[in-house]
Chain A
């Protein structure tokens, strides 16, 4: 398998699948960093595996399986250490995740939930947009830093702080009910529009 074909397949999968898989793993585990790490791991595995064995017929399902299994491994070691009932429950749900189902509308719901969590009013507005671009649109921290005219280190800190607040302040992972508060999520509309706009990711020059 040529390195160019693998690279193209990975770039396509990265643009299309990253947010879906990350969103689903965040929903089930509630752990932002774990979800992102596992998705990163699945791409690293693909990079090593695909040139040898060929590009799988369904790259998205392949990546979902690897990311899910990685999450199961990590949850299992955490659960055996703490014997926490809550973590065992998450483990059961993870094991029940179907790779195909994740491509169904449920995964889109997960992405919608993700946008609403990223755009929660308890987060500063610039962090909302940055986090959505990172997690949902899959832009790199460097790309977002350039768009915000700040250094990559500054943007990286901003993203870390936003993820920490989501975890520590108990910002829920759900689409808020229409009635919950009037001006639901300033930031979520521009983000939704940005995310659905094609070619938001600057394409690498072919040569």
Chain B
């Protein structure tokens, strides 16, 4: 099964410590295990643009569509045997310690 990991900031989490960031090891392990499909960081919400179409008009606004204290800082698409493996993979990600991670199963649209 494929899962999307939303790597989120969390104001309540311990402060980021560069020396404890094991992202390089995490990526290496997940690629070696064949778990990692793709993933990356995302630019901060200041760089977000929101688009919608209303009554045929394209409406473009700056900023994210939801104003929250937590924001998505990155994403990873992973392939795992089940939710327990996805939880294990997410728990090893550095942002599980410095933020939090939402796991969502990919729901193939089958087109």
A172→B84 contact, CB < 8 A: yes
Instruction: State whether B91 touches A170 (Cβ < 8 A).
Output: no
Interface size of B by CB at 8 A reads 13
Smallest CB separation, A161 vs chain B (Å)? 15
Flag whether B88 is at the interface (Cβ < 8 A).
yes
Is the contact region of chain A dominated by helix, strand, or loop, or is it mixed? Answer: loop
**Contact: A172 with B87, CB < 8 Å?**
no
Query: How many residues of chain A get a CB closer than 8 Å to chain B's CBs?
Result: 11
Q: B91 contacts A181, CB within 8 Å?
A: yes
Chain A hits for B84, CB < 8 A: 171-172, 174, 176, 180
User: Does A169 reach chain B (CB closer than 8 Å)?
Assistant: yes
Q: Which residue of B lies closest to A174 (CB)?
A: B84
B105 an interface residue at 8 Å Cβ cutoff? yes
Assess whether A168 is interfacial by the CB under 8 Å rule: yes
| Segment 64-111 of B: residues with Cβ below 8 Å from A | 80-84, 86-88, 91, 105, 107
Whether a CB of chain A sits under 8 angstroms from the CB of B1 is yes
C-alpha spacing A122/B82, complex, angstroms:
12
Cα–Cα distance between A171 and B1 once the two chains are bound (Å): 11
Given contacts A180-B88, A181-B87, A181-B91, contact A170 B82 (CB under 8 A): yes
Q: Is there an interface contact between B86 and A170, defined as CB atoms closer than 8 Å?
A: yes
